[in-house]
Structure 1
Amino acid sequence: MALSVDKIVDIAPSKDDLLPPESRLDMPVQDLRHWAPGKALPAGRDRSSVHVCRWFVFSATLALTGLGTYEIYQVISPADITWLQVIFAALFAVTFAWISFACASAMLGFLCMRKQRYVLADLADVKRTALLMPVYHEDPETVAEALARMGRALAKEMAGDKFDIFVLSDSRDAVHIRHEAQVFAKLRQDLRDEIQVYYRRRPDNHHKKAGNISDFVTRWGGAYEAMIVLDADSMMAGKTLVTLARAMAADPKAGIIQSLPMLHNRWTLYARMQQFAGRVYGPIVANGLAAWHGRDGNYWGHNAIIRVKAFAESAGLPELQGRKPFGGHIMSHDFVEAALMRRSGWAVYMLSGLGGSYEETPPNLIELAARDRRWSQGNLQHIKLLNVKGLHWVSRLHFLQGIMSYLASPLWLFLLMTGLVLSTVAKYAQPNYFPEGFTLFPAWPVFDPERALRLFTLTMAVLFVPKILGIIAAIFDPELRRGCGGVTGLIKSLFAESILSALLSPIMMLIQSGFVLDILLGRDSGWKAQKRTEEAPPFTELLYKHAWHIIAGVLVGVLAFLITMQTFLWLSPIVLGLALSAVVSWSTGLVSVGRSAHDWNVFRIPEESKPVFENMDGASPERLAAAE
C-alpha cells in the first residue's frame, strides 16, 4: 500500500480523534539496591534438558579456553616468563574465552536443531493485545505501509478484533509532526473496518524509547493483556503475531516471549552479507541460546510480546546516579527490563523456530557505526547494574555478554599491540641465555612452529565452526537451501562472507575501541534518528572518516615488516583491512555491488526471491508446524 501525500494533506485530525479512552496502570520505579529474599515467584520450572545444556556450554567454553591458553603459553614462553608475556597470555585467554563461548552455543544449537514444542491457547482465549510502533523522525509513509500490511494480515487471521495498533511518536520537528499525524490518520481511516489504529505524540520524549513505551503502559496499559513491541523497521507475519499472543495466553507465567528477527529488504553488499549470515548462521546460535537460557532468557527490545501488567509492576526504570554517559536514563533498557521481570518471577524466553519475524539492517558500515555508538554506551552502562539486588545469575550473564560485545574490540587491540611489542623485543633485545639459578645448559630462545600452527588451527576452528554448522544445517533444510542458491550458493557465500568479515573486522575493532574511549572520557552519544535509505556516502567522505584507520593499517604493516616477514604475513589480513578501509566501506555500501553478488549467486536468502511483503498472511508453514 503506497500512501500518497496528495490524499492526506486535507486531513487535520484532532488529538481526541486518534486516541482511545485512557485505562491507567501504575508503573513504580524499581529499587535496584534492595530486594527482599523470596519475594520473586518461580518463573515456572525449566526442563532438565536446560541444565544439561548449560553444563555443555560452560564445559565446552572452559575446555576450549583452557586448551587455547595452554597452547599460547607454550608458544610464547620457550625460556623465561616476562610480565609482557603474562599480559599477552591473559588478554588472549579473555578474548579466546569470548569466541569459545559463541562457538559452544552454536554447537549446542546445531545439536538442538529440531522444531520447538510449545503450547498455544485457542484464539478465542486471547485477550486484547496492543501492537506498539515507537517512532522518532521516521519516514511516516514507510512505517504506515508496514503497519497496513501487518494490520491486514491480522484481519486475514480473523484476529483484527484482538489487536489494536498504536503509533507512539517522539518526533520533535513541527513540519514532520504535522505530516506524520496526517499519514497515520489516513492509515486509521484505511484500516477502520479491519483493525483499530491510534496515534499519540509525546510533548516530552523523556527516557527516549523506554519512556515512550512506559507512557503507553501508564495511560492505556490497563485495557490490554499484552503488547507486541516493534521497531520502525520491523515486519511480522500475521500468523506470527497471533502465535505469540496464543503462546502468552497459554502460559500464565510468561512475562516476555521473544521471536527471532531475520534481516531482509536491503541490497547493498554489506547488508546482504549481514542478511545471509543472520539467515544461515543465526538460527544455529539462536537455538543454542534458547536451549540453555530456558525461561531465564533475554529481550532484544522489539519483535517480542510482553505481559502488560507484569511489565508495569516489575520494569519501571530508575535514573542512574552520576553524569552521562554512565549515569542518567538507562539506554539499553531491553536487557534491564527482561532482568527485572525475571527478578519478579516472570519467565522470559525465546521461540527461536517461530519464523515470520523480520527487521532491517543498516545498509553500510558508517550507518552501523552510528547505531553501534548508542549501543556501546548503553551496554557499557550495564557495568553499573551488575550488582543489582535479586537478579537471576543468567540475567547478570546477559549484562556481561553485552558489555563484552564492545570491550572485546579494545581487548583485541591491546592483544595486537602487546604482540607487536613482544615481537619487537624478541628481535632487538639481548636474549638472556643464563637466567638466575643453577643450570647446566644455556636457555636458548626457541620458536616452535608446530605449536604455533596448532594454535592457529584451533583459533580458526573456534571461529569457523558456527559458520560451517550453519551451512550444514542449511543444506539439510530444502526451503532454505533453495532460497540461498543451492549448495553451490551456500559454499560461495561462506567463502565470500569469510573474506569480507576478515577485512571488516579490524575496521570495527578500531571503531568500537574509539567508542569505548569516548565513553570513558565522558562523551554522550545523544539521540539521532537512524538513516534507513540505501544511499552510499561519497567516497571522499569515507576517506575522511577512515583516515586514521588507513594510517593505523600502514603503520602496523611497516612495523610488522621491520620485525620479520613472518610477522607481516601473520598480520596481513589486519593490515589489508585497515589500509583498504575506505575502499571496503565504500564498495560494500553500494547497491550495484550487492546486486552483482546476487547475480553471481552470492549472499542470496529466500526473502529476496519471495519478499516478505508478498507473504504477510503467515510465516513459513514448516517452521510453524510445531505450534499447531
Structure 2
Amino acid sequence: MTETDPALRRPPPRDFASEGASVFPAMPAEAPLDMPTQSLSRFDPSTRRKNVLRHPWLGVLFARLFVFGGGLALTCYGAYEMYEVVAVGGVTLLEWALLILFVANFSWIALAFSSGLAGLLWLMFFAPRAPALPAVLHERTAIVMPIYNEAPARIFAALEAMIEDVAASGLGQSFDWFFLSDTTNPEIFLAEERAFIDLRQRVGGAARVYYRHRPKNLNRKAGNIEDFVTRWGGRYPHMVVLDADSLMTGPAIVTLAAAMESDLDAGIIQTLPLIINRNTLFARVQQFAARIYGPVIAAGVSVWMGREGNYWGHNAIIRTRAFAAHCGLPSLPGRPPFGGHILSHDFVEAALILRAGFSVYMLPTLGGSFEESPPSLIDLSARDRRWCQGNLQHLRVLPARGFKIASRQHFITGIMAYVSSPLWMAQLFVGIILVIQASYIRPEYFSREFTLFPTWPRFDAERSLNLFALTMAILLTPKLFGLLLALFQGRTRRGCGGAIRLILSALFEIVMSALLAPIMMLIQAGHVMHFAFGFDTGWDPQRRDDGSIAFGAIVRRHRSHVAMGVVTLIAGFMIAPSLVAWMSPTIIGLILAIVISWSTGLLNVGMAFRRAGLLLTPEEQSKPPIVARANELARQFGHEAPQDDAGEAAFPEDPKFWALHLAWLPAQKRASGDISAEWALANAKLENAETMDEAIAWLKPKERMALLNDRTLIARLLQLPRKSTAPEPLSSVG
C-alpha cells in the first residue's frame, strides 16, 4: 500500500469545535462554595450553631435509657453468669481472659437485642404515617450520582427512571440531575458520554441532566462530591447523594426535599435503602434479611439516635452550604492504612455536621429507597475489606474534639463490627486451650501457698449450657422481632409467599447465616490483621451483576478456611467429642466453605429458590414501578459494561460527538514541563502511527485516558486516516 492509496491519504485538518456550534453544556455555570478542611484536634464550642426550631428530646432520652440501660443490664447478667461458670474452684489467668473476651463480645449482641426490641415497639405503636406530598417546593435540589467504572446502561437507566418518576409528581422542575464520573477505563468513559448524549436527547427539555468527568479520581467518592460542592454547590441549597446502585422513587425524593425545606436545623436526612434485583442465592439471602430484619434494626437505631444520627453515604439529602462549611475532610497523619485520606468518609461527615450544630436523622419508614448488594461471598469480602480499613481508620478519628457522644458511639459500633471477629476467634481459642488443659495437663490441686481447699480445674457445666442458650437467644431474637412484624403486616406476609413460606425462609436464612458466620469471622479477622501490620487496600469497582466466579478462584480464596475447619475437627476429636458437638456450626461452616461460596454464588441456585417461593420479598413479588422501569431501560440500553479488550465505543467518525467531547473537557493549564509519562507515550505513538487504527492498537489503557483528556492529542489522532471505512473498536492491546 502506498502513500497515495485513499485509505492512507490524510484528510485536511477539521475544526471539530466549529462543527459543534450547537453544543449543549455538560454542566451548568459554576457557583463555587468554599469547603475548608476541618480540624480534628481543635474546636471552639462557642461557634456551634443554635437550633432555630424546638425539637422534642424526652422520647429520645427514654429510648437511650431503654436501649443502653437494657444492654448494660443484660451484659452484667451475662458477665455474672460467665464468672460463675469459670469460678468453680477459683479463676485462673486463662479463665479471666475467657471472661473478658466473653463480656466484650456479649455486650454488642446485648445492645443489638435491646435496640431491636425498641425498634419493634416503635414500629408497632409509635411509627408516624407517611407525610403527604407537598404541592410545591421552594428550593432547588441537586441529585448527584458518583460513578466509577460502572456499566453505563445500568446507571443511566436508573437515573432516567428516577427523572421520570419525579416528573410524574409534578415537581420535576425543582431538581437537577448529575452524573459525577471518576471513571478511569477509556472505553467506559466514551460509553458514558455517548449514553449521556442519548439520555439528553430522550428527556429533551423536560429535565436538566448534566455530566462531569474528573481526569483524576482524587480522594475517591469523597473527593468527587467535594469537587461538585466547591464548583457548583452554590446553586443548590440541597443535594441528594446516590450510589451507582441506588434507586429512589419520585415520592421518596420529593419527601426528602420537603423535609429538608421544613426543618431548618437538619443537616442530613437519611433513608433506609432496601435491597432489590438480587438473584444468586447468596444475594437473595442478603435481600431477604435486609427486608425482614432491617426495618426493625433501623427503627431501633433511629429511635435512640434521635437527631444525632449517622450517615451511610448514599440515599440521603444534605444541606449543601452546611456540608461545605463544616465537612471538609482532613488527611490523617501517617501512611495508609491508618493514615492518609479518610475512606469511610460518611460517618466522619455526619459527626462534623453534628459538631457544627446541625441535625442528622433517619426516616426509617419512608419507602421507595433501594440499593443492590454483592452477588457472592467473595464479592462481599472484597467490599468488606475496604469497609474494614475505613472503619479501623476511625480509631484515629474517635478522640476528635467537639464530637457528640452519639457520634463516638457510631464510630465504636463500626470499629467493633470488624474487631469483634478476632475477639470471637480469641474467645474460641482460649476455650479450646482450657479444654486441652483440663484433658491433658495434670492438674495441681494444691498450690505452693497454704490453702484449706484444693483448686479444682472445673467448670459449672449446667450453668455453661444455660449461658450458651441465653447467648443464642439474644443473638437470634432481633431476627425473631423482624419475622413477627412481617407476619403481622399483611402486605409483607403475602409478598413473602404467605406465612409458611416466610417462616421457612427465615429458618433457612438463620441456617445460612450460621454457616457463613465462621467464614466471615476468619475473613474479617484476616482483614483486621492485614491492616494492623500496615498493609493498604485497593479500591476496585464493585461487581454488581449476578454471575458466578471461577471455581479455581473460589478454591484459592477459601482453602485456608477449609484447612482450619479440618484441623479444628481433628483436634476436637482428640481433645473431647463434646468439644466437636459444641463447635459443630463453626466446623461445618469452615469445612464446607468452598462448597457454600460456590453454590450460593450461582444464579440458577438462587432462581430455583425463587421458583420454590422461598426467600421472596414483597418488592420482588410485586415489583415497584420504578424498579421495573429501570430494569426495562437497562435491558434496552444493553446490560453489560464494555470490557478493556472489547471496547463498547469505537472512536466514531462523528464530528458532533467529538465537538461535544472536546467542549466538555476541562480547561487545560499544563505547567511548563508538567507532562505525565502516559501523555508522553501517547504523543510518541501518535507521531509514529500512520493510521488511526494503528495508533489505537498501540495505546495502552492509561495512555488512551491521557489522550481522551487532552485536546492536542485528540486533534492529532482524529487527523489520522483509518485503514478502512468500517469503524473498529477501541481495543486494549499490550
- TM-score above 0.5, yes or no: yes
Q: For residues 27-46 of structure 1, what are the structure 2 equivalents within 5 Å?
A: 27-43=35-51, 45-46=55-56
Taking only aligned residues, the RMSD between alpha carbons, in angstroms, comes to 1.9
Deviation of 1:457 after TM superposition, in Å, equals 1.3
Counterpart amino acid of residue 571 in structure 1: M
Residue 147 of structure 2 contacts residue 182 of structure 2 at CA under 8 Å; is this kept in 1? Answer: yes
Q: What CA deviation, in whole Å up to 9, does each residue of 1:345-374 have, x standing for no partner?
A: 010000000011000010010000111111
Question: Residues 520 and 14 of structure 1: is their aligned pair in 2 closer, same or farther, counting only changes over 3 Å?
Answer: farther
Q: Secondary structure at the match of 2:173?
A: coil
Which segment is superposed worse, 273-282 or 448-457? 448-457
Residue of structure 2 in register with 1:625 after alignment: none
Residue of structure 2 in register with 1:580 after alignment: 592
Deviation of 1:139 after TM superposition, in Å, equals 0.4
For the pair 1:551 / 2:559, whether they are aligned, the reply is: no
Residue 154 of structure 1 contacts residue 617 of structure 1 at CA under 8 Å; is this kept in 2? Answer: no
Residue 293 of structure 1 contacts residue 394 of structure 1 at CA under 8 Å; is this kept in 2? Answer: yes
Match 2:145 to one of 123, 133, 143: 133
Match 2:157 to one of 145, 150, 153: 145
Residue 156 of structure 1 contacts residue 617 of structure 1 at CA under 8 Å; is this kept in 2? Answer: no
Deviation of 1:187 after TM superposition, in Å, equals 1.0
Match 1:174 to one of 186, 197, 222: 186
Q: What CA deviation, in whole Å up to 9, does each residue of 1:526-570 have, x standing for no partner?
A: 211111121111222211110100111111111111110100100
Q: Secondary structure at the match of 2:210?
A: strand
For the pair 1:55 / 2:55, whether they are aligned, the reply is: no
For the pair 1:328 / 2:340, whether they are aligned, the reply is: yes
Q: Secondary structure at the match of 2:443?
A: coil
Residue 326 of structure 1 contacts residue 384 of structure 1 at CA under 8 Å; is this kept in 2? Answer: yes
For the pair 1:313 / 2:325, whether they are aligned, the reply is: yes
Unmatched runs of 5 consecutive residues or more in structure 1: 1-10, 619-628
Counterpart amino acid of residue 80 in structure 1: G
C-alpha distance in structure 1 between counterparts of 2:503 and 2:235, whole Å: 51
Residue of structure 2 in register with 1:100 after alignment: 110
Counterpart amino acid of residue 305 in structure 1: I
Q: Secondary structure at the match of 1:528?
A: coil
C-alpha distance in structure 1 between counterparts of 2:624 and 2:151, whole Å: 19
Residue of structure 2 in register with 1:524 after alignment: 536
Question: Residues 25 and 419 of structure 1: is their aligned pair in 2 closer, same or farther, counting only changes over 3 Å?
Answer: same
Deviation of 1:608 after TM superposition, in Å, equals 1.2
Match 1:89 to one of 87, 91, 99: 99
Q: What CA deviation, in whole Å up to 9, does each residue of 1:481-528 have, x standing for no partner?
A: 111111111210111011101110000001011111111111111211
Deviation of 1:82 after TM superposition, in Å, equals 1.2
Q: What CA deviation, in whole Å up to 9, does each residue of 1:58-81 have, x standing for no partner?
A: 111111111112222222231131
For the pair 1:22 / 2:45, whether they are aligned, the reply is: no
Residue 120 of structure 1 contacts residue 250 of structure 1 at CA under 8 Å; is this kept in 2? Answer: no
C-alpha distance in structure 2 between counterparts of 1:286 and 1:152, whole Å: 29
For the pair 1:512 / 2:521, whether they are aligned, the reply is: no
Q: For residues 330-345 of structure 1, what are the structure 2 equivalents within 5 Å?
A: 330-345=342-357
Match 2:395 to one of 373, 383, 391: 383
Q: Secondary structure at the match of 1:376?
A: helix
Q: Secondary structure at the match of 2:553?
A: helix
TM-score by length of 2: 0.81
C-alpha distance in structure 2 between counterparts of 1:250 and 1:139, whole Å: 37
Residue 380 of structure 1 contacts residue 403 of structure 1 at CA under 8 Å; is this kept in 2? Answer: yes
Residue 128 of structure 1 contacts residue 224 of structure 1 at CA under 8 Å; is this kept in 2? Answer: yes
C-alpha distance in structure 1 between counterparts of 2:612 and 2:194, whole Å: 43
Which segment is superposed worse, 587-596 or 185-194? 185-194
C-alpha distance in structure 2 between counterparts of 1:177 and 1:13, whole Å: 23
Question: Residues 617 and 294 of structure 1: is their aligned pair in 2 closer, same or farther, counting only changes over 3 Å?
Answer: farther
Q: Looking at CA atoms only, which structure, 1 or 2, has the larger radius of gyration?
A: 2
C-alpha distance in structure 1 between counterparts of 2:586 and 2:470, whole Å: 19
TM-score by length of 1: 0.94
Residue 23 of structure 1 contacts residue 221 of structure 1 at CA under 8 Å; is this kept in 2? Answer: yes
Residue 86 of structure 2 contacts residue 458 of structure 2 at CA under 8 Å; is this kept in 1? Answer: no
Residue of structure 1 in register with 2:240 after alignment: 228
Q: Secondary structure at the match of 2:142?
A: strand
Counterpart amino acid of residue 32 in structure 2: R
Q: Count residues in correspondence.
A: 608
Q: What CA deviation, in whole Å up to 9, does each residue of 1:586-614 have, x standing for no partner?
A: 11111111112123322110111122355
For the pair 1:76 / 2:67, whether they are aligned, the reply is: no
Deviation of 1:196 after TM superposition, in Å, equals 0.9
Q: Secondary structure at the match of 1:161?
A: helix
- Percent identity between matched residues is 47
Question: Residues 283 and 315 of structure 1: is their aligned pair in 2 closer, same or farther, counting only changes over 3 Å?
Answer: same
Counterpart amino acid of residue 215 in structure 2: P
For the pair 1:469 / 2:477, whether they are aligned, the reply is: no
Counterpart amino acid of residue 541 in structure 1: A
Deviation of 1:193 after TM superposition, in Å, equals 3.2
Deviation of 1:83 after TM superposition, in Å, equals 1.0
C-alpha distance in structure 1 between counterparts of 2:213 and 2:111, whole Å: 43
Deviation of 1:439 after TM superposition, in Å, equals 4.7
Q: Secondary structure at the match of 1:395?
A: helix
Residue 398 of structure 2 contacts residue 411 of structure 2 at CA under 8 Å; is this kept in 1? Answer: yes
C-alpha distance in structure 2 between counterparts of 1:351 and 1:15, whole Å: 41
Q: For residues 533-612 of structure 1, what are the structure 2 equivalents within 5 Å?
A: 533-612=545-624
Residue 239 of structure 1 contacts residue 617 of structure 1 at CA under 8 Å; is this kept in 2? Answer: no
Counterpart amino acid of residue 29 in structure 1: T
Q: Secondary structure at the match of 1:168?
A: strand
Residue of structure 2 in register with 1:415 after alignment: 427
